[in-house]
Structure 1
Amino acid sequence: MRKILFFILLTFSSFAQTIIKTESGKVEGYENQGLRIFKGIPFAAPPVGELRWKAPQPVKSWEGVKKCINYSASPMQASPAPFMCWSEEFLIPKEPISEDCLYLNVWSGAKSSKEKRPVLVYIYGGGFRSGGAACPIYDGEAIAKKGVIFVSINYRVGVFGFLAHPELSKESGKSASGNYALMDMIAALKWIQKNIEAFGGDASNVTIAGQSAGAFGVNYLVASPLTKGLIHRAIAESGGSFHRNPLRPNVDMKGAEEMGVKYAKSLNCNSLAELRAKSAEEIQKSQGGLASPIVDGYVMPESIIEIFSKGKQNDIPTIVGWNEDDRVAGPPVKAETFKEQMKKRFESTANDFFKVYPAETEEQATQSQMALGRDETFGIQDYTWAKIQTKTGKSKTFIYNFNRKLPAYTPETQFGAFHTGEVPYAYNNLHTVKRPWEAIDYKIADTMSSYWVNFAKTGNPNGNGLPKWETYSINNEQVIIIDKVIESKPLPTTKQMAFWEKYFSK
C-alpha cells in the first residue's frame, strides 16, 4: 500500500511540475531529462484580421489547462528550402507557417519558482524576412542544462512585421508604424517579466541574444527606450545597425510610409481596410514592402548611432562578435572587375581601400571580397557597437571572432566559418546538425556555451576552466578567438576597421 501511495504521489508531483499558472491561464508542458519544457505559449493575441499591422495585443485568458508541448506555427514567410551552407537544420519546419505566430518556448531545469535562475532569450535571424524559433539549432535543452532558463520567441517577419503606411501611423496613436517585429520582441520581454518567475526564472536578470537579423534586433532593443527594465545583458552574433548597411535600406518614417503606399497600390489596394482584407497568402506572394526596422519616433526615437553616441542606450554588459567567413553576398567577381567596381565606389579613397583589401591577383581579389562582405556587413557594426558602448557607457563589452571552419557535410560544401555557423556551438547544439563533427568541435561548443551561460549569470563570460576572455578596451582591443585554439588576442582586423571608421565618418 505504501509503495502504491508513493507511486501516486510521485506521479502527481511529476505532473504538477509541468503545469504552470501564467497571467493568462495554466499551461502544461512536459519533462525530459530533468527539464520542464513548454512549447507554443501565447504571449500576444494572434495578429490577424484587424490586428494585422498593429502593435501586439494582450492574450485573452483561457479556462482550464492549455497544452504547450509542440512548437507553434512559424511566422508567415516563403516555404523553407536548403541553400548554400544552410542545410535543413538551420531552417524552420516546412509547416505549419501562419500569421498566427506570436508564441514562445521555455526550457527550465528549476525545481521551484524560488530558484530565480538567469533567463536567456533567443531572437532568431533570417534577414527579417524569414526564420522562426522552431529551427532545430535553436533547441534550448542543452543550454538550459547549464543553469539558465532558455526562452525562444517568434516575431513577425517581412511585410507582416514592418509595413509602414500613413493610415497605420494615424491609427496607432503614436504617429508611427512599421516596427511591429520589434514590438513583438518587446511584448515577449514584458511577458517574461510577468511570468518567468513561475518557471524558476529571475525577471531581474534577463539576457537577450540573437544572430544576424536577431542581432540587429538585439541592437535595436538595447537602443530603444521601451525596453528600460526589461533587459539586463545583450549578446549579438553577427549583427548591428550603426552604419549604413548594404542589407538594410536607409529610410525614415516618411520614406517608409511612401513605400507602404506604393506597396498597397501594387496590390490594387486604396485603403488599409482593403489591405487587411487580403489573405496572408496573397500578401506573402507579393514579395514587396519594407522588411527592416526604421526610426519611427516611438520604438526608435533616433538612429542607433545617435542614441549610443549620446549615452541614451540601455547601459548593459554586452557580447558582440562575428565569424571569419561571415558574408551573405553572391560569388566573387574577377579581380579586374572588382578593382573597377571599387574604384568607382570609393573614388578618392580607393587607394586606402586597396591597402586593406588588395586585388593584385585573382586569389587576393577573392579573399578581399570575402573580407569586404564580412567587415562592411557585420564587422564594423559590432566593432562600432563595442567602441561606442565603451565610450558612453559604464558596462563592460566583450568581442569574439568565431574562426572555426565547420566540417562540410559534402566535399562540395566548404564554406568555412560561415554566417550562422557559430549558433550550434554557442548553444551546445552540435547534435542537431548532421555534420562529421570532430572531438575539437564538441570542446569548442562546450566552451562557447559556457561563456554564454556565465555571461547570462554574471555579466562576465569568464569562469573556472575556461580560457581567459579579456574585456574589450579602446587601448588594447583584445578579442577572444574561437577556433581549435581559444585565446584572447588583439583584433586581427584593426586596419580594416580603421578604414571603415574613416569612410563612415565622412
Structure 2
Amino acid sequence: MISLRRLAIAAAACLAFSASYCVANPVVDTPAGKLEGRSDGAISVFKGIPYALPPVGQLRWKAPSPMPRWQGVKSAAAYGSACMQPISKLPNIYTDDPGPLSEDCLTLNIWAPADAKNAPVFFWIHGGALVGGSSSERMYDGAKLAAHGVVVVSINYRVGVFGFLAHPELSAESPLGISGNWGILDQIAALKWVKQNIASFGGDPANVTIAGQSAGGLSVMYLLASPEARGLFAKAIAQSAYMITTPELKEAKYGLPSAEQSGVALAAALHKPDIKALRAMDAEELTTAAAMARFSPFGAVDGHVLKRQLVDTLDAGEQAPVPLMAGFNSGEIRSLRILAPAVPASASDYEAVIRDRYQDLADDFLRLYPGSNMQESIFAASRDALYGWTAERLVKKQTRLGQPAYLYIWDHAYPAADSVGLHGFHAEELPYLFGTFDRVGPYWPKVPETPEERSTSEVLMSYWVSFMRTGKPEAANAPVWPAYDATSAYLAFQQSPQTSTHLMPGMYDLVEKVVCRRRASGAQPWNWNAGLAAPKLPAKTAACN
C-alpha cells in the first residue's frame, strides 16, 4: 500500500516550511521494488514503471524477461519512452507526438486513488494498428477515470517489426519452436506484473479488466484466446476490435503467407542474410526500412500463444470465460478512408460489381448497402465487415459460454466532428471515456466543454466502471443496459443512451455467411476485402448456408 508514514512525515515537513505549495510524493513498496510517484489531487500517479527487462541487443525478438527487484527508491515521475515506430509525415486526426522512442520501452503507468483498497483494475491497451501508439498519449491520462474509484494501468508493448516479426531462425531459437508474438507476450508479462504488484497500489489483482480500442481491441481478443493469459484477468472490454484473419506461423493459408515467410521476405527486402544481421541494425533504421518494405504486424497462430484462428477459438468456446463488453462506432470508416474503396461512376456499376462478387448473396448485400447512396453504403459495408460483425460475434459467443455480454454502438454527435463529415468516427469515444477533452491531438475535432458533453462522458465512465466493479454496466440517471442474451439487446450512445434490440438486422448474418465460405475455401482472408473490394465469393457448402 502507499506509505502513509512517509506521507505523514513529508507533510509535516511541508507544513513547517510552506503549506501553500509543498505536496508529499506517494511512495509504494512493491514486490518489484520501491517507487516514488506524484500526487494529482486525490490520485497517486506512477509513470514509466519497468515491467520487464529492456528487449535490446540479443534480447531483441525474445520473450520478455522478468525485471529483477531494484534497489533503493525508483522515481516514477515521468512516462517511459514509446516503443520504436515509424513517424507519419502526413498528419491526420490521430497524429500526436509519441515523445522519445526506444527499444527500452516495456513500461506501464498507474493512476490510483490515494485511499484505494481492493479497487477494480482497468488494464488499458493502446491502439495504433500494431504499428504505433503509446501509453503516454495525452488522451489516455487515467486521473479522471481513477477518480471513480478504480486503479488505471496503461502499458507499452512492442509494435511493428519489433513486436511481431516471425522467422524460421527465431523459431529455432525457441524451445517451443515458435516466434512472432512478442507484443502479445509483452502484454501478458505486464498482466503478470500487475497480478504480483497491483495490491501495493490498492488494486485487486483478482479483479482486472483488460480493455483496448482498435488494435488494443484486437489485443483484447488475442488475450481472450491465449492460454498463456488465462487467469490474469477477470473481465474484458473490446472497443472497435476487428477479428481479421491471423497468419499461421508456418503455413500459407487463407490467401496469406505464413508469418515466417513474411519474416524471410522482409530480411530479403532489407538485404540482410540472417537474424544476426537484423539484430545488428540500428533500431530507427530498421523501423523505417520495415515500414518502407510494407511489413504488416499481426499475431501468428503458433499453437501456443495463439492456438488457432480467433474465429475458430470462439466457435470452439475456448476463449476465457469472463464477462465481456464489445462495441463499435457508427462512422468507423469516415476517418479510415484508406479502408473504403472508391465510389464507382454509377449505381449500376456499383450493383454490377456487387452481384459479380457476392453471387447468390448479392440481394442480401444490396438490401443492406444499396446503390442509392454509394458512399454511405461503402462506409457501412467496410465498417460492418470489420467492426460491427466482430463486436456482435464476441457477445454472441461469450453469451453461449454462459457469461454476461454487452453490446454497444457509439453514434454520438458533436459539432466539430459532424461539420467535417466525421460523425461517430473511429476512436471518437476515447476522450469521453478518459474525460480528457483538453488532451486530444492537434488535429482531433475539438469536443466542446459543455454540460451535455461532460454528462455523456460521465455516463460512459460510469457504465465502464460499474462493469469493472461488478460485471454489469450501470450508470445513474441512464437506461438499464441489458445483456445481449436471447433478445439481442444493445445500447446506442447517441445524444443520450438508448436501448434496443437486433442491431442492424441482417448485418451479422450476411458477414457470418461470407466469412464461413471464405474459411471453408481456405483460400481467402476475411480482412479488409468487403463490398467492392471483395473477391468473388466461394460457393455455398453444406457447412455454410
What is the CA-CA distance between 1:11 and the residue it aligns to?
A: 8.8
Secondary structure class of the residue paired with 2:365: helix
Q: Which runs of 5+ in 1 are unaligned?
A: none
Alignment partner of 1:253 out of 236, 250, 255: 250
CA apart distance, 1:26:
1.4
Question: For the Cα contact (< 8 Å) 1:182–1:293, is it kept in 2?
Answer: yes
For 2:33, the aligned partner's letter is G
TM-score, normalised by the number of residues in structure 2: 0.85
Q: Quickly say closer, same or farther: Cα 1:481–1:4, change in 2 above 3 A.
A: closer
RMSD (Å), alpha carbons: 2.3
Mapping of residues 322-471 of structure 1, within 5 Å: 322-327=328-333, 328-330=336-338, 332-334=342-344, 335-336=346-347, 337-359=349-371, 361=372, 364-391=373-400, 393-408=401-416, 411=419, 413-433=420-440, 434-471=446-483
Alignment match, 1:310: 316
Aligned AA for 2:73?
V
| DSSP 3-state at the match of 1:61 | coil
Once the two structures are TM-superposed, the CA of residue 352 in structure 1 deviates from its matched residue by 2.1
Q: Distance in 2 between matches of 1:454 and 1:435?
A: 24
Q: Following the alignment from structure 2 to structure 1, what is the Cα–Cα distance between the partners of residues 403 and 510?
A: 27
Contact conserved, 1:409 with 1:436, CA < 8 A, in 2?
Answer: no
**Residue of structure 2 in register with 1:118 after alignment:** 120
CA distance in 1, matches of 2:128, 2:159: 9
For 2:320 and 2:143, the matched residues in 1 are separated by 29
Distance (Å, rounded) in 1 between the aligned partners of 2:448 and 2:14: 45
Q: Deviations over 1:378-400 (max 9, x none)?
A: 11011111111112x12100001
Residue identity opposite 1:253 in structure 2: K
Paired with 2:495 and 2:418, the residues of 1 have a C-alpha distance of 21
Q: Secondary structure at the match of 2:193?
A: helix
Shift of the 371–178 alpha-carbon distance from structure 1 to 2, 3 Å rule, reads same
CA distance in 1, matches of 2:414, 2:91: 16
Distance (Å, rounded) in 1 between the aligned partners of 2:216 and 2:149: 23
Structure-2 residue corresponding to 1:27: 35
C-alpha contact (below 8 Å) 2:10/2:24 kept by paired residues: no
Is contact 1:28–1:65 with CA below 8 Å preserved after alignment?
A: yes
**Aligned residue identity for 1:154:** N
CA drift at 1:291:
0.2
The C-alpha deviation readout for 1:142-161, integer Å capped at 9, x for no partner, is 00000000000001111111
Q: Which amino acid aligns with 1:476?
A: T
Are 1:176 and 1:253, in contact at CA under 8 Å, matched by a contact in 2? no
In structure 2, relative to structure 1, the CA distance for the partners of 1:461 and 1:176 (3 Å cut) is same
CA, structure 1 residues 272+463, in 2 after alignment: closer, same or farther (shift >3 Å)? same
After TM superposition, give the deviation of residue 440 of structure 1 in Å: 1.9
- Aligned equivalents of 2:112 and 2:508: distance in 1? 40
Q: Residues 432 and 81 of structure 1: is their aligned pair in 2 closer, same or farther, counting only changes over 3 Å?
A: farther
SS of residue paired to 1:226: helix
Letter in 2 for 1:281: E
Q: TM-score, normalised by structure 1?
A: 0.91
What is the aligned partner in structure 2 of residue 296 from structure 1? 302
- Identity among equivalent positions (%) equals 36
1:408 and 1:414 in contact (8 A); partners too? no
Aligned counterpart for 1:66 among listed residues 74, 87, 96 = 74
Distance 1:224 1:170, change over 3 A: same
Task: Tell me, in whole angstroms, the C-alpha distance in 2 between the residues paired with 1:110 and 1:95.
Answer: 28
1:119 alignment partner, SS class? strand
| Per-residue CA distance 1:115-148 (angstroms, 9 max, x = gap) | 1111000001111111111111111000000000
Contact conserved, 1:323 with 1:402, CA < 8 A, in 2? Answer: yes
Q: Report deviation, 1:496.
A: 1.5
Are the counterparts in 2 of residues 103 and 153 from structure 1 also a CA contact under 8 Å? yes
1:452-491 to 2 correspondences below 5 Å: 452-473=464-485, 475-491=486-502
8 Å Cα contact 1:322/1:401 also seen in 2? yes
* 2-structure distance, mates of 1:122, 1:107: 12
Change (3 A) 1:267 1:133: same
Name the stretch that deviates more: 418-427 or 284-293. 284-293
Paired position in structure 1 for 2:12: 7
Unaligned runs of 5+ in 2: 1-7, 252-257, 441-445, 518-545
Is the aligned partner of 1:128 residue 2:135? no
Task: Please tell me whether residue 499 in structure 1 is matched to residue 510 in structure 2.
Answer: yes
2:282 counterpart of 1:279: yes
Q: Which amino acid aligns with 1:471?
A: A
CA distance in 1, matches of 2:465, 2:439: 19
CA change 1:310–1:94 in 2 (3 A) is closer
Q: Distance in 1 between matches of 2:284 and 2:10?
A: 54
Cα distance change on mapping 1:343 and 1:41 into 2, 3 Å: same
* 1:207-222 alignment runs, 5 A limit: 207-222=209-224
The match for 1:37 among 45, 53, 59 is: 45
> Could you tell me whether the CA contact under 8 Å between 1:164 and 1:177 is conserved in 2?
yes
Q: Note the 1:39-118 alignment, pairs <5 A.
A: 39-80=47-88, 83-86=91-94, 88=95, 91=96, 93-111=97-115, 115-118=117-120
Distance 1:291 1:459, change over 3 A: same
Shift of 1:341: 3.7
* Distance (Å, rounded) in 2 between the aligned partners of 1:313 and 1:498: 22
Q: Deviations over 1:181-236 (max 9, x none)?
A: 10000000000011000000000000000000000000110111111210100000
TM-fit CA distance, 1:6: 7.6
Task: Mark the CA change 1:51 to 1:467 in structure 2 (over 3 Å): closer, same or farther.
Answer: same
State the AA in 1 paired with 2:250: M
Distance between the aligned counterparts of 1:171 and 1:10, measured in 2? 58
- 1: CA distance between counterparts of 2:354 and 2:397? 28
Structure 1 CA distance, aligned partners of 2:39 and 2:386? Answer: 41
Cα-to-partner distance string for 1:277-322 (whole Å, 9 max, x where unaligned)? 0111121111143401121111011222222222221100000000
CA contact (8 A) 2:235 2:324 kept: yes
* CA-to-aligned-CA distance 1:345-377 (integer Å, 9 cap, x gap): 323322221121100x3xx11111111121011
Q: What residue identity is the alignment partner of 2:12?
A: F
Q: Which moved more, 1:399-408 or 1:341-350?
A: 341-350
Q: Taking structure 1 as reference, are residues 445 and 463 closer, same or farther at Cα in structure 2, changes over 3 Å only?
A: closer
Q: Is the 8 A contact 1:21 1:198 kept in 2?
A: yes
What is the SS of the residue equivalent to 1:436? coil
